[in-house]
Amino acid sequence: MKLYLTEESLFAVKLSVKTAVCSTAFVVLFGIPLAYLLARSEFKLKRAVELIIMLPIVFAPTVTGYILLVILGKHGIVGSLIYKFFGRTILFSWFATVIASFVASFPLFVKTAQAAFRSVDEEYINVSYTLGRGKLYTFFNVSLPLSRAGITAGAMLAFARAFGEFGITLMIAGNIPFKTTTIPIEIYNAVSSAQFERANLLVLISAVVSLSMLFAVNRLLERWSP
Amino acid sequence: MVSVKAFKRLKGFFLNAEWNSPSAVTVLFGPSGSGKSLTLKAISGLIPLESGRISVKDRLFFDSEKGVNLPPQKRKVGYLPQSHTLFPHLSVYRNLTYGKGVDRKWLEHLIKVTETEKLLDKYPGSLSGGERQRIALVRALAIKPQILLLDEPFSSLHGFLKERLFEEIKKMCLEHEIPIVMVTHDVKELLHAGGYCIIYRNGQVEQEGQANAVYFKPSSKETAKLLGHKNFVRVKVLDSGENWSKILIPPNCEITLPQRYSGKEAWLLIPSSALALKRERETAKLGFKIIKINQTGENLEITAELSNHKLTFVLPESLGPNFILEPLKKVDFLLSLKYFHLIPVEEEDGKAFES
């Protein structure tokens, strides 16, 4: 098997790493509070929120991508605001790859983190309250540390998913050389122009990253499970 | 000392409990799912009540009429749930200093008194059940609580350890005037704790009083069974007055008890410890047929029949009768009348006598 490293491939690797890191950071940042809310409290529209988060898992990536195109486009609800303030659209920029990865991996993280928060026995929280500690202190000193294994596992799954994102990325970031060509898109480009040698290395990198994440997640959950 | 009036509706369950305990130790006793733990959570402020009033000593925790509802953080309660008490990710020392405003000097004193110095660097996972509960206790006391709430705190411990730990807790709490409210469904624990007892059934208070008094004078057959009583004889009430009742124990024994009772029939509770050694004014002689005798180490367990009711008596091995007990033998037993107690007959019990 021949492995070729071209400039395109190098760019794709760098972009994918950047995208996956940024996307995972946002996923964790927004996912933790949301997962905690879903795990610990009852509120109106809770079911609706849960459902909407899960949509990218069941929708065809092109469908999700299309919906995002509509929302983030110049005339969309969110897109028009962005256009108003920044004078440009975020579609078909490198940040669009981050958004695509974010949307695809968010449900994976939220579900895992929610399960992790739910597995923390409520009595720990009760005891913390009776010891005079407020909700925020209890969250950072009890709930979060006690569910860190599940949260880390969720973040790794999200990273792996972000690293392999293709369909939504293609829809909202496009296939612009040296701009939005992540590893999966570059693999597609290589194969569609019959340059299998160029694809091989990228496939290998992608597979290694995904497998090591999966391995780490399994080890983590095994070690921490009661 | 502790006064609770709690009303809360849950899915398929009503908590509607009201009691006043004058004692430093209060025991909530009842079957599981009767609202005991819920009451503890209400006292600690962990669940919101629909209405009611909760006060400890002279501090008001909750009053729906006055709109008072202190959050759990402000109530200063030492809360020890059944399990999951110590934070597993923190060392013992960090568990002990977790509470807000823990006074180091006071904590050092507590550690010294409970002899837990050598455990400070360990993690909860490496402690024994007893050590864990002791640390949880120190942690609860470290915030100088107004009240200590124990939810079956000893269910994971063995008898001897259980009693010792409870004695320790009681001593410390009495010393610092911290009332204890404890939940249990173990009769032994109830009687050992002493104090004031509240019997719970279906979210309501069935009976309250000093533990020993409640034990010997339960107000219903259900409660009596819950307290571990097994000996019930259906009797006819012949006559009754201000503070006495004349009953007929079938087939033909008439006795007068110092208890007021209205009704024609009753269940007579004869505690298994009611055997008397010699004839006195307050004893009754009843004819039994022996069914079996069990030797359970220190005690002799005698099962005997009295007019179709199987009764079990327990007496220390050393006080066993000097005549030979053997199955089917007819024997007269002397029973101490002061332990006899009449319990109302409920409708589902049906009628035993023709009137």
Burial per residue of B171-197, b for 16 or more beta-carbon CB atoms within 10 angstroms, e otherwise? ebbeeeebbbbbbbbeeebbbbbebbb
In percent, the amount of chain A with pLDDT more than 90 equals 79
Query: Looking at the complex, does the CB of residue A121 fall below 8 Å from at least one CB of chain B?
Result: yes
Residue A93 falls inside a structural domain: yes
> How many independent structural domains does chain A possess?
1
Residue A1 falls inside a structural domain: no
Query: Looking at the complex, does the CB of residue A145 fall below 8 Å from at least one CB of chain B?
Result: yes
Whether A15 contacts A205, CB under 8 Å:
no
Whether B224 contacts B218, CB under 8 Å:
yes
Residue A183 falls inside a structural domain: no
Q: Compare all CA atoms of chain A with the CA of B100 and give the residue at the minimum distance.
A: A132
Nearest to A131 among B45, B83, B99 (CB): B99
Query: Looking at the complex, does the CB of residue A87 fall below 8 Å from at least one CB of chain B?
Result: no
Q: Is pLDDT at B296 greater than 90 in this prediction?
A: no
Residue A193 falls inside a structural domain: no
* ipTM confidence: 0.84
Chain A residues with CB under 8 Å of B71 CB are 129
Nearest to B81 among A126, A131, A142 (CB): A126
The alpha-carbon gap from B85 to the nearest alpha carbon of chain A, in Å, equals 6
pLDDT band, very low/low/confident/very high, at B348 (cuts 50, 70, 90): low
Chain A residues with CB under 8 Å of B91 CB are none
pLDDT band, very low/low/confident/very high, at B188 (cuts 50, 70, 90): confident
Rounded to a whole number, what is the distance in angstroms from the first to the last CA of chain B?
A: 48
Nearest to B84 among A121, A129, A132 (CB): A121
Give the torsion sign (CA, A134, A135, A138, A140): negative
Nearest to A127 among B45, B85, B89 (CB): B85
Summarize the confidence of residues B245-273 as an average pLDDT.
Answer: 86
Q: Which domains does chain B have, with CATH numbers?
A: 2-217 (3.40.50.300), 230-349 (2.40.50.140)
- Which H or E run contains B106? helix B104-113
What are the tokens at B215? Answer: 């034990």
Q: Do B73 and A124 touch (CB under 8 A)?
A: no
Closest CA to B24 of B124, B185, B172: B172
Residue A55 falls inside a structural domain: yes
The residue segments making up the domain with residue A81 are 19-176
Q: Is pLDDT at A4 greater than 90 in this prediction?
A: no
- Which H or E run contains B323? none
Residue to mutate among A40, A125, A126, A131, with most B CBs inside 10 A, is: A131
Residue A11 falls inside a structural domain: no
Query: Looking at the complex, does the CB of residue B41 fall below 8 Å from at least one CB of chain A?
Result: yes
The total number of residues shown for chain A amounts to 226
pLDDT band, very low/low/confident/very high, at B354 (cuts 50, 70, 90): low
Q: Is pLDDT at B15 greater than 70 in this prediction?
A: yes
For residue B72, which amino acid is it?
A: P
Convert the pLDDT of each residue in A159-204 to its tens digit: 999 999 999 999 999 999 999 999 999 999 999 999 888 899 999 9
3-state class of B117 per DSSP? helix
Residue A121 falls inside a structural domain: yes
Q: In Å, how far are A130, B186, B251 from B302, measured between CA atoms?
A: 49, 23, 21
| CA–CA separation, A105 and A98 (whole Å) | 10
3-state class of A177 per DSSP? coil
Q: Do A124 and B84 touch (CB under 8 A)?
A: yes
Residue A58 falls inside a structural domain: yes
The domain that holds A65 is classified in CATH as: 1.10.3720.10
pLDDT band, very low/low/confident/very high, at B89 (cuts 50, 70, 90): very high
A to B CB pairs, distance under 8 Å: 61
| CA–CA separation, A179 and A65 (whole Å) | 18
Convert the pLDDT of each residue in A7-65 to its tens digit: 889 999 999 999 999 999 999 999 999 999 999 988 889 999 999 999 999 999 999 99
